[in-house]
Structure formats: structure tokens, C-alpha cells
Amino acid sequence: MTTISFLPRSSAAVANTFLQLALMDRTPRDQMPTALRLQRLVYLAHGYSLAILSSRLVADPVVALDTGPIFPALRDATAIFEAAPILSPVACRDRAGLAHAQGVLVDRVWLKYGQLDEMALHDFVYEPDTPWAATAPYLEIEPSKIAAFFAKRAA
């Protein structure tokens, strides 16, 4: 079996892809993703990428915090937006596009989860058997744990 490796992107670059999808879907301004919702969407896409493509989508580490799995780099990049809907791209030096398979995966995550509110996304990542729940606070969540969890979800 041939393994295809994709260049992982920054969490902010993946978040910007979700923002572009929201704009293409003509999402009302007040329903655009917030910083926390973007965290959840990027985490879901990263998890499914590990499970389905056997490749990291996001180069940044994902850390277990009280608020759930968080990409600290994305948290820092979106801090200026606080809890408001994000209407413009997140500051990011990573301007390269996603590989085709990565783009298809992000699009599917958007179609399945993009319209969910923060509480529904919260419930998904806070389930007791998640990699976040099995990781001590402030530590990086192991990609192998994320891949195994999302492989069950994708089956």
C-alpha cells in the first residue's frame, strides 16, 4: 500500500479555509464562525485527516485545556476577535493552499459540522472517551490517540 504524505498547514491557514467556505455559503455575518467554533472545526478536520488520510492536516500542536482541545497558535491568532463572529481572514504567514485531498476533507467537515453551533461542537469534543479527556491538562494530545478516535468515528 502506498502512503501519500501531505504537507501540514498552520492552524490559522486551515481556519481561513473554513472562513472562506462560510463566505462561499453566504453565511450571515452574525452566524460566521467565532474563535472557539473555528478551534473545534480545525480540530475535527485535523482528526479526520489523521484517520482517513493518515497525515497531519495541521502542523501546530493541539493541547488539552479546560476549554477542550486547543491549537495555541490559533488561539493567539484569533484572540483579537474574542467571542465575536470572525468576518475577515485570521493573520497567517502560511499562504500555501491545501492539497486536493486535504481540501476535499475540509469541505466535507464543513458540510457536516459547519452549521452546528458551539454547544453541539462542544458536546462532540467533550465526550468522555475523547483523546482530550484522556490527556492531562496543558499537555499535547498525541496524534496517534486523535487518529484512533477519529478512525472509529469515520467507520
**Least confident interval from 27-31, 35-39, 94-98:** 94-98
32 touches 22 (CB < 8 A) = yes
Q: State phi, psi for 42 to the nearest 5 degrees.
A: -65, -40
Write the pLDDT tens digit of every residue in 38-64.
Answer: 999 999 999 999 999 999 999 999 999
How much is the pLDDT for 117? 85
What mean pLDDT value characterizes the chain? 92
How much is the pLDDT for 155? 75
Query: Which of the four pLDDT bands, split at 50, 70 and 90, describes residue 126?
Result: confident
Burial of 119 (0-12, 13-18, 19+ CB in 10 A): exposed
pLDDT surpassing 70 at residue 4: no
Query: Which of the four pLDDT bands, split at 50, 70 and 90, describes residue 3?
Result: low
33 touches 22 (CB < 8 A) = yes
Write the pLDDT tens digit of every residue in 70-105.
Answer: 999 999 999 999 999 999 999 988 877 899 999 999
Amino acid identity, residue 134? Answer: A
| Distance between CA atoms of residues 17 and 74, nearest Å | 13
Helix axes 143-154, 35-48, angle to 10 degrees: 80
How much is the pLDDT for 1? 44
pLDDT surpassing 80 at residue 2: no
The structural domains of the chain, with segments of one domain joined by +, span 11-154
Q: What is the mean pLDDT of residues 130-140?
A: 91
